[in-house]
Amino acid sequence: MKGVLLAGGTGSRLQPLTTITNKHLLPIYDRTMIQWAIEAVVNAGITEIMVVTGGTHAGEFLRLLGNGNAFGIDRLSYGYQDRPGGIAEALGLAERFVDGDAVLVMLADNVVERSIRPMVDSFMAEPVGARILLSEVNEPEHLRHLGVPVFSPEGKVLRIEEKPDSPASNYAVTGIYCYDSSVFNVITTLKPSGRGELEITDVNNHYIDAGTMTYEVLEGFWGDAGESIDAYYTVNDFVRAHGANNDTAPTTAEHN
């Protein structure tokens, strides 16, 4: 399995902190945001990683990470998204790097309390389709800014609604996904959304419609450090007190 860290975006929600840098280079406690994401992927047993970024600060990732060996990476590649075309388009840039393998995709502003290795191991036991990581969120006003799964009475995901006015559940789709290699064929079938981007929610709904989507529910803290200034400092405070990517307890509850 390969790992793809998506570290692009304009960082507009973290202005003015991102005026002079990419948001993924901002500090979370004692290291940069991207380093926490790298640690999560490496701790999951994945040591071939591509970082996809864009904008005017892309070179700073190379200066920080180099060849990746100091961070436990055996092979580190870089991809450049030359325009804001969406998460799915950014993932599509990694097709040649993934080269027919399964792939763990992580939006690099996601920070989790516990290791994501159980999710990766579950997917690799039967690496077909997709597996997404959900987190329980009990604030409806927060869910209205996220992707929210709609469940059947039996607990299967029927679809994912993006930024719903009336959230159908108390769960959010985190920015952590496992896909088989067919994901790149799926991306080629997508049409731009109303904001002109290829959406990862459309990728996930494709797998749901095909009947090949599974999910796990994250136990412990999950934060999107790029969501807002308040969220950024909430993640900072949590990591300072509790750390991240810890192996001390099960990460997820499995669902098919």
Give mean pLDDT, residues 81-99.
95
1-29 average pLDDT score: 94
pLDDT at 9: 83
Residue corresponding to tokens 């040591």: 47
Q: Which of 13, 202, 6, 21 is nearest to 110 (CA)?
A: 6
Flag whether 203 is in a domain.
yes
d(CA 16, CA 22): 11
The string of pLDDT tens digits covering residues 167-216 is 999 999 999 999 999 999 999 999 999 888 999 999 999 999 999 999 99
Determine the average pLDDT of the residues in 116-128.
96
- Residue 12 confidence (pLDDT) above 80: yes
Q: Among 223, 130, 220, which residue's Cα sits nearest to residue 181?
A: 130
How sure is the predictor about 84, in pLDDT bands with cuts at 50, 70 and 90? confident
* Continuous segment of H or E residues that includes residue 253: strand 252-255
Average pLDDT, the chain: 94
Residue 250 pLDDT exceeds 60: no
Q: Domain for residue 6, yes or no?
A: yes
Domain of residue 37, CATH code? 3.90.550.10
What would the two tokens of residue 218 be? 């994250």
Assigned domain for 64 exists: yes
* Residue 125 within a domain: yes
Confidence of residue 83 (pLDDT cuts 50, 70, 90): confident
Which amino acid, 242? H
- 140 domain residue, yes or no: no
Helix segments in the chain, DSSP class H: 33-43, 58-65, 87-92, 95-98, 117-125, 140-143, 183-189, 200-210, 229-242
Q: What is the pLDDT of residues 48-77, one digit of tens each?
A: 999 999 988 999 999 999 999 999 999 999
**Residue range of the domain that includes 9:** 2-134+174-248
On the question of pLDDT at 251 being above 70, the answer is no
Does residue 254 surpass a pLDDT of 90?
Answer: no
pTM score, whole prediction: 0.94
Angle between helices 33-43 and 58-65 (to 10 degrees): 60
In a domain, residue 103? The reply is: yes
* pLDDT-derived band at 11, boundaries 50, 70, 90: confident
Q: Is the pLDDT of residue 102 over 80?
A: yes
Is residue 248's pLDDT more than 80? Answer: no
Is residue 255, in this structure, part of any structural domain at all? no
**What's the pLDDT score for residue 160?**
97
All residues at 6 or more sequence positions from 124 whose CB lies less than 8 Å from its CB, including other chains: 1, 102
CB atoms within 10 A of CB 211: 8
Query: Is 56 inside any structural domain?
Result: yes
Number of domains in the chain: 1
